[in-house]
Amino acid sequence: MLRSKVCPTNLNLIHGRVHAEPPRRPPDLYRSLAIFAAIRRATTRPFFAELEAAMLAATGGVNTHRGTIFGLGLLCAAAGMTANQSNDGVVAAPQKLGSVVTRNWGEDIRRGPIPLHNHGSEALRRFGASGARGEAAAGFPSIYSIGLPALRFGRAIAPRDSTAGVVQACFALIAGVRDTNLLHRGGADGARYASEAAATFLRNGGVGTRDWHRRAAAVHAEFVARRLSPGGCADLLAMTLFVDALETGTPLKWPPSC
């Protein structure tokens, strides 16, 4: 069973509008989103387009997290279909959210139009990488087979470092996922370099060694020097943290003061 406590301002944050005073009784965030019915009818594109437009306006036209908008939107919709909420705001979803996405919208995602001019579409044509669309249609296997196990393993081997699990998951995703942004930035050679660098970090002990901060920073510096940005893995990491929060009952709160 997936459980989490919802902050009442999250729904408005999704739309870029945060009320100064949250309602007294926490709303059902995921049901309030109410986008799952729209997805079933393939009418969510305007919804996602609105969120993308807000992102591009805030970043000066830079795509920083389009994949996160798409993936988290679907996972929220899946939670909306399956979750129950108690009066104190605890959300419980009895099913794996990725499976809910595949069962309800997998075919619609696969059949949907493929944009002609974005990095993911270019990577699909040039390298056969399925990207965010393929990941979502398949139920986000990278979250469940790579991200979550690595996150929890990292926490277990470095329990006193709150960032260790996140870094372990990040490197595991880079090592195991064909990231379309890496393919766009560095081609097949750049993506291969990033994957091998991340795998080497993990093979040498990951976050379980005393010098892991230094080793992680060195990999980061090499990525910057080579202009390699694992944006797809960053999207999957955000989704991994979201799913983990629901499964472990970690409060989902934004802004921090709520």
Question: Which has the closest alpha carbon to 148: 252, 242, 253?
Answer: 242
Burial (CB count <10 Å: 0-12, 13-18, 19+), residue 216: buried
H or E stretch including 84? strand 84-85
Q: What is the pLDDT of residue 68?
A: 75
Pairing status of strand 2-5 against strand 84-85: unpaired
Q: What is the pLDDT of residue 78?
A: 84
Walk along the chain (258 residues) and give the pLDDT tens digit of each residue: 444 443 333 333 333 332 333 333 333 444 444 444 444 444 455 666 676 677 667 767 666 667 777 888 888 888 777 766 666 665 656 678 899 889 888 888 887 655 545 665 565 655 455 678 889 999 999 999 999 999 999 999 999 999 999 999 999 999 999 998 898 889 999 999 999 999 999 999 999 999 999 999 999 999 999 999 998 999 999 999 988 888 877 766 544 443
**Cα(223)–Cα(208) distance, integer angstroms:** 22
Length of the chain: 258
Q: What is the pLDDT of residue 150?
A: 98
**Cα(237)–Cα(151) distance, integer angstroms:** 9
Q: Parse the chain into domains and list their residue ranges.
A: 2-248
Task: Tell me the fold of 2-248.
Answer: Triphosphoribosyl-dephospho-CoA protein (1.10.4200)
Q: What is the pLDDT of residue 147?
A: 98
Burial (CB count <10 Å: 0-12, 13-18, 19+), residue 106: middle
CA geometry: angle 92, 238, 107, nearest 5 deg? 75
